[in-house]
Structure formats: structure tokens, C-alpha cells
Amino acid sequence: MRKKILIAVIAIITLPVVLLSGLFLVLTHSDTLQGMIISKVIKAEAISEGDLSITFQPTRFSVRMSDYSVKEKETEKTRIQFDQGYIALNPIMWMFGSRNFDQMEIKNGTIDVSSSIKKINFSEAKKEDGVLTLKGTIGKQNLNLIKKSKDIDLTIGGVNIKGRLDGSFTDIEDMAITAGDDVIRGDFEKSGSDIKATINFSKDKVFKFDADLGGRKQHIDVNASKLAYEDLEKVQRIAKQMQKFWDGIKRETSSAAKEVDKKEKLIAEIEIEKFYRNDVLLGRVEMEVKKDYKGMDIDFDGTRLADASIRGDIYISSLKEKRTNVNLDWKDFDYAMVMAGLGKAVKKDTPGVGSLEIDITGEGGSIDTLKKTADGTIKLRLDKGEIDPTYINFWGGGVINTLIPSFDKKQMAVLNCAIVNAELKNGQGVVAPIFVDIKRVTIFGKGTVNMADETIDVLLKPKAKELALGNIASAVRVSGDIAKPSIRPDTKSTLKKLGTIALGAINPAFYIFSLTDLGIDEKDVCAK
């Protein structure tokens, strides 16, 4: 009992001493308090300027500040600045190492914590009942943060991130990223230059990202045992929104920081074992992306879709005169499988193969620029098989309906051959031939395309193979926006643009284009 009494007496005597010592430190060394504040944000020694008043109670320090700023001691750069502020803390807990504020409210200020992102302008930063909130803007993006214990709810612009912190803001568990109607879930972890992320689309669709971005040689692995095109579309839409807000909040890179390290190289390996679209297993995706100071090369070797390998690459130059080269060859693919993947109705085990060749070059380092400056050729060919008429009936049904009003749209069409070639120069070119031969009718034509403004001007001519097929148009003109063109019957004067195409031969395409032009010989199904 005497021992307990003695301890109590000592505690009574020492407690005021401890509290008064803490008060003395705060009053005589204000940088200590400011250092604590700044360490919560930038983990650096700090100095401060402004008006400060302290109210002392045995278990509570109340600190009020006005016209206040906190600078990084080493660089004297202002990291925090605000008009009015209030902080309350437990001095005993602080003495024993706790740096948590019991209560905080700061109004109308800025936070500058990074050399890579812009300042945060806030109207209010508040902590009450264990909940931290921050409202403001960063760049041109609205910012709202709610943190309760380890749970965070962060909104920047059109992107919301929710999750549970595991140590810091760079480690987030049970994360959900929402942009518009799209939501992806997973985990994110960053340790130094190592970044790991997992996105869970469903129980069997898991997308894993593992990157080592340290040093001059950087490496990224992306893999999934099963993934759908729709999942990637979702990621792409969210990524666009995140890129949008990142472009809005990032600082301009200084000229000194733009110096290129010619020894830097990044290699990304992407592998999706089973790739689906519309619940159709299309095949396997395997890509290798190499990036250095000269540019970026995307190699598709190893990718196999619709029972056919895709060969070729896309190269984007990063040098002063940027160029983009696209060279892809997809031969003998199962176009029934492709149509099924596109959501078109097909019969099971429908025969038919197709080939697609793309060989174009353009200026700039983006698809938009490439479209405006593209030089080269695009060739599509489909060989004998069965095909849904609605698939032939491009642009939502208008073409076939106009060409052949009596066409039976409910039946599968027997396709003999289809060829579409395009020659491009500076984003503009000639589409010729256009040749589609099915059991009851042949459709052929030619026209022009403008990739820059995404418009076309095409003339099509049908020829019936069966006398019973009546009510057939003489010619149809398709012009305007590629996605939603104007489709209307054409006059005989316009038809003259096709020259001998109006002669009405059994296979009139061969009066316009030679067999060599069509890429076929006399034994080819297209010649029959």
C-alpha cells in the first residue's frame, strides 16, 4: 500500500513537470511544433512564420494559427500555407511518441508536397472524431478526401478511389476505382521502385501487374489466365479518366529534367492465356513492348486469335521527327469466330477464312495524328463460307435495304468472296475494289476515304444472279461520316464514275480490275 501511495505521489509531482516542460518546449521552440506538423506531410525539418497562440490544459494543447506558413528548412520552400488553423493534441501522448492530432481544422490554404504534382488548394482540412476530410482543388480538378482510421475515400475529378490503407497511401487493399459507370477492384502496393497491382474482374478473371521501375533498365510483367475484351475496355475507359486528371494536376517538367538518358530502357511483357469477347474464346494474346529514347516498339508475335497468328508490329518514334509505322499480317483467320466475338449470329462450325493486311506509315506519335497523315495500304479478304446478312449489311442495315429491298435478312448468306482494298496518301485515299459476292447477288464498287475527318464517298452497284430476285437498285451512294453516312440511290450520271462497271457482266468486277489487282488467279473462288 505504501508503495502504491509513493508511486501516486511521484506521479502527481512529475506530471506537472512533464506538462510544463512540454509547454516550455512549444513556447520557446515553436519550430518543434511546426516540425511535427510538417513531418505529418513531407517528413522534413521545418521552420514557420505567422501568428500562433497556445491554450494549455493538463491533457490538451490547443494551438491556434493565423496567416501561417511552414517551410522546408533545407530549401526554404513553402510547403503549407493557410489563413486560419486550429490543432488540439494530447501532450502526454505526444511526449511518448504519438504524433496524432485529436482535432484539427485548417481553412483556405495550399499544400505543396511534391515536385511532380501541382499545389493542393483547399477550402478546409478537418479532423474530428477520428475522421479526416480535405476539400479543395488540385490543378483544375476538384479534390475530396475522407479518411477514417485506415479506410480512404478519395475523389479527384471524375475518378473515385476507395480502399483500406496498409501502412501508407502507396499500399491500398480492397481498392475500388470508379469512373462514371465503370468500376474495377483490386489491390495496389508500392515499395521503392517495385509496383504490384491486382485487378479482380471476377473470381476467374484476375489481371496482375508487376513492375520494377528502378534504374535504367525497367521491366513490367502483365498477365492473366483469363480475360475478356470488355474487361480491357473498362480498364481503358478508367485509364483515360485517370490520365485526364493526371494531365491536369502534374507540374510542367523543367528543361533540365527533360534530358534523355540514352541508356534507359523499358520492356513490358503482356500475356493473356485465354482472351474472350462476348463470351467467345478468341485465343491468346502475347505482346512485347520495348521503349527507349528512340521510340516504342509493340511486337505482336505470339498472339493467336480466331485460329490464326498475328504477325507484325507497331513502332512509334520519339525522336524529333516522330513517325508511326503499323505493319500487321493476320492470315487465314476464322471469320465466323470473329463475327461471333463481335456479337453477330453465326452457325456453329461455319466454314470461311479471312486475311487482313495493314501496312501504313504516318507522322506523329498518336493514332489521331496517324489517321491524318497515313500512307500505305489496308487489304481485307474473306473467302467462301456462310455469313449473317446483317454483317454484310454494314452501317446498320441501310446499304442492303437500299440495294436490295427484297433481300431475305433472316437467312444466312453463302459468301463466295469479299475483297476490300484501300490505298492511302496523307490520310486520304481510294477504296478499290469493293467486291462482295454472295449466292444471289454481287455487290461491287469503289470510292474515296478521308481518314483525317473520317468521311467516305463510295459508289456501290448490285447485280442479281437470279431472275427471281427483283426490285434491285441500279446503284447506291454512301457518303459522309464513316460511322453514320448518308445512304441513297444514285443517279445514272453518277454511275458513270464507275466506267464499265455498268455493263452488267456476270462478274463485272473483272472488267474494272485485273486478276492481279484483286490478288487472285483463275482457280481462285473469287473467279468462279
69-75: Cβ within 8 A, 24+ apart: 70/34, 70/37, 70/38, 70/46, 71/46, 71/47, 72/38, 72/42, 72/44, 72/45, 72/46, 73/44, 73/45, 73/46, 73/47, 74/44, 74/45
Residue 489 lies in a domain: no
Residue 453 lies in a domain: no
Among 169, 223, 141, 188, which Cα is nearest to 40's?
169
Beta bridge partners of 144: 135, 155
Instruction: Indicate the number of domains in the chain.
Output: 1
Q: At what angle do helices 30-39 and 2-28 cross, to 10 degrees?
A: 90
Residue 113 lies in a domain: yes
Residue 420 lies in a domain: no
| Rounded distance between C-alpha atoms, residue 191 and residue 189, angstroms | 7
Beta bridge partners of 49: 69
Query: What confidence score (pLDDT) does residue 315 get?
Result: 93
pLDDT tens digit string along 87-104?
887 766 666 556 567 788
Distance of alpha carbon 168 from the chain centroid: 26
Residue 424 lies in a domain: no
Residue 92 lies in a domain: yes
Cβ partners under 8 Å of residue 386, min gap 6: 336, 346, 347, 350, 351, 352, 412, 413, 414, 415
Residue 88 lies in a domain: yes
DSSP secondary-structure letter at 73?
A: T
Q: Using alpha carbons, list the distances in angstroms from residue 3 to 6, 8, 10, 109, 124.
A: 5, 9, 11, 53, 51
Torsion of CA 248, 251, 256, 262, to 10 degrees: -50
| Rounded distance between C-alpha atoms, residue 465 and residue 528, angstroms | 13
pLDDT tens digit string along 41-59?
444 566 778 888 878 776 7
Helix (H) or strand (E) holding 187: strand 182-191
Predicted TM-score (pTM) of the model is 0.74
Sign of the C-alpha dihedral, residues 232, 234, 239, 240?
positive
Query: Cell for 76?
Result: 526554404
Is cis: bond before 433, omega within 30 of 0?
yes
Q: Which amino acid is present at 279? A: D
Q: Using alpha carbons, list the distances in angstroms from residue 222 to 184, 206, 210, 214, 225.
A: 16, 11, 6, 17, 11
Cβ partners under 8 Å of residue 84, min gap 6: 65, 66, 106, 107, 108
Query: What confidence score (pLDDT) does residue 335 get?
Result: 83
Query: What confidence score (pLDDT) does residue 526 get?
Result: 64
Domain assignment of residue 101, given as a range: 2-138
Antiparallel, parallel or unpaired: β 46-57 and 60-72:
antiparallel
Residue 74 lies in a domain: yes
> Read out DSSP for 439-508?
SSEEEEEEEEEETTTTEEEEEEEEEESSTT-----S-EEEEEESSS-EEEE--HHHHGGGGGGGG--SSG
Half-sphere CA count of 507, side-chain side, radius 13 A: 18
| Rounded distance between C-alpha atoms, residue 355 and residue 419, angstroms | 10
> Residue ranges of the chain with pLDDT lower than 50?
2-32, 34-35, 37-43, 395-396, 493-513, 515
Query: What confidence score (pLDDT) does residue 2 get?
Result: 47
Query: What confidence score (pLDDT) does residue 525 get?
Result: 58
Q: Count of CB atoms within 10 A of residue 285's CB?
A: 21
Among 517, 510, 478, 475, which Cα is nearest to 496's?
475
